[in-house]
Structure 1
Amino acid sequence: MRRFLRDNALSLAFGLLFLLSLAGQAFAGLAAYNDRRLTHAAEPIGLLDYLTSADFAVDVAENWQSEYLQFFLYVFATVWLLQRGSPESKPAGRAGLESDEEQQIGRHSTADSPKWARAGGWRTGIFSMSLGLVMLGLFLLSWLAQSVAGMSAYNAEQLTEFGDPETWFGYLASSDFWNRTLQNWQSEFLAIGSMAVFSVYLRQRGSPESKPVGAPHHVTDESG
């Protein structure tokens, strides 16, 4: 058990932080939701009802989709785009998909290489893009969930104010949907762009996301 905890500490720690923050969001969101209901002279609801509501679903989904969009774009962008001095960037001259030898696929694979990296053909082709494709799929699914839950929450609010409900396509073109979406996207783009630049000049000793403390600023693709 101790070895399992040591070997999986990073994923376990962030999994625990995720659950704790999700629980905190649930209780805080319930309080805010019931405050809004009271302003409309409606009865407050319980935690279970809130967890199964469109309001909770859209708040969760809109954050998930922006996070997966960030990773999808970063995974694909770093194939072609470089940032001199960043440990997150490949060095100059290596932009692109790189050779089979550099990627250790096909006849250049080793006995320890994943099976699909050694298989060749379509299986190696899919496996070679699997990280980005999974991130893209999770982004699209969470964005779809956001749109459906957002439409439901928006229409519920419209009905309380005697407004007309929107269709799904109508909601996709609405300012409410794009306001929810873009306020998350811009923060993700800012954060990842800042990380790419700050990691050129700043250090975090012992972190693989940083260069060694004594590495020159211009050194690229080197982790501490």
Structure 2
Amino acid sequence: MALIAQTFTGWHQHNAELQQDGAVAIGLLSYLGSGHFISATFENFESEFLQMALYVVLTVGLRQKGSAESKSLDEPEEVDREPVAGPDAPWPVRKGGLILKLYQYSLFIAFAILFLVSWGLHLYGSWTEHNEQNVLNGEAKDTVANYLTQANFWFETFQNWQSEFLSIASIVLLTIFLRQKGSPESKPVDAPHSQTGK
């Protein structure tokens, strides 16, 4: 629903900007292939996949005393045990070897790939939109390499990344002192602040 709402509002905003520049408004299908839509969509996807990839990999080794999001500081965790090939185990566990090695890190690998694809599509959309604006202003188009040296793309990128870092830090630190009854992201309401994990 949010993506549909973004599509329609973005389409109207982009057409308003085109008309201000003396250009003709575009149809919805044309908008879906525009740099404006692609950049806005994948800029957001990119930061979310970065957040999840970092969250998955950082929670493997880092600990925060008292955080509901941290593994125990002292005791071994079930998620750290070596996989055992049984009849109900996923196929990669039963297969073993390289397939198992990849499967052991498949969650991070998937988020990393989704992040890189989203980053590439964000770059493509932002570059395309930049060149569309250059044409409207009577300026020459930039190459991707030249566009990467300009501040706009990196401004878009870093403003999203910093918000993801902030959200990770917030959930880790706020769960030390705050509770949400019934949430698997919270410690029990009566747990001491020093309790680590759920």
TM bin, normalised by shorter chain, reads over 0.9
> How far apart, in 1, do the equivalents of 2:26 and 2:107 lie?
40
Corresponding residue for 1:148?
A: 124
What is the Cα-based RMSD across aligned positions, in Å?
A: 1.9
Corresponding residue for 1:47?
A: 28
Q: Which runs of 5+ in 1 are unaligned?
A: 1-19
Corresponding residue for 1:180?
A: 156
> How far apart, in 2, do the equivalents of 1:124 and 1:212 lie?
35
**Residue 76 in structure 1 maps to residue 30 in structure 2:** no
> How far apart, in 2, do the equivalents of 1:26 and 1:35 lie?
14
Does the residue aligned with 2:175 lie in a helix, a strand or coil?
helix
- TM-score where L is the length of structure 2: 0.93
> How far apart, in 2, do the equivalents of 1:110 and 1:219 lie?
34
> How far apart, in 1, do the equivalents of 2:173 and 2:125 lie?
36
The answer to whether the 8 Å contact 1:104/1:110 transfers is: no
Shift of 1:102: 4.3
> How far apart, in 1, do the equivalents of 2:75 and 2:15 lie?
55
Corresponding residue for 2:68?
A: 87
Cα offsets for 1:138-180 (capped at 9, x unmatched): 0001101111111111111111112222111122222111011
Cα offsets for 1:89-139 (capped at 9, x unmatched): 1111469xx89x94241xx45443223224332121111000000000000
User: Which residue of the other structure, out of 131, 147, 150, is the alignment partner of 1:171?
Assistant: 147
Indicate how the Cα distance of structure 1 residues 168 and 94 shifts in structure 2: closer, same or farther if over 3 A, else same. farther
Corresponding residue for 2:169?
A: 193
Shift of 1:32: 1.0
**Residue 157 in structure 1 maps to residue 157 in structure 2:** no
1:1-224 mapped onto 2 (5 Å cutoff): 20-93=1-74, 102-105=80-83, 108-222=84-198
- TM-score where L is the length of structure 1: 0.82
Count the aligned residue pairs.
198
The answer to whether the 8 Å contact 1:147/1:171 transfers is: no
Indicate how the Cα distance of structure 1 residues 102 and 149 shifts in structure 2: closer, same or farther if over 3 A, else same. closer
Q: Which runs of 5+ in 2 are unaligned?
A: none
Does the residue aligned with 1:182 lie in a helix, a strand or coil?
helix
Does the residue aligned with 1:44 lie in a helix, a strand or coil?
coil
Which structure ranks higher in relative contact order (CA pairs < 8 Å, sequence separation ≥ 6)? 2
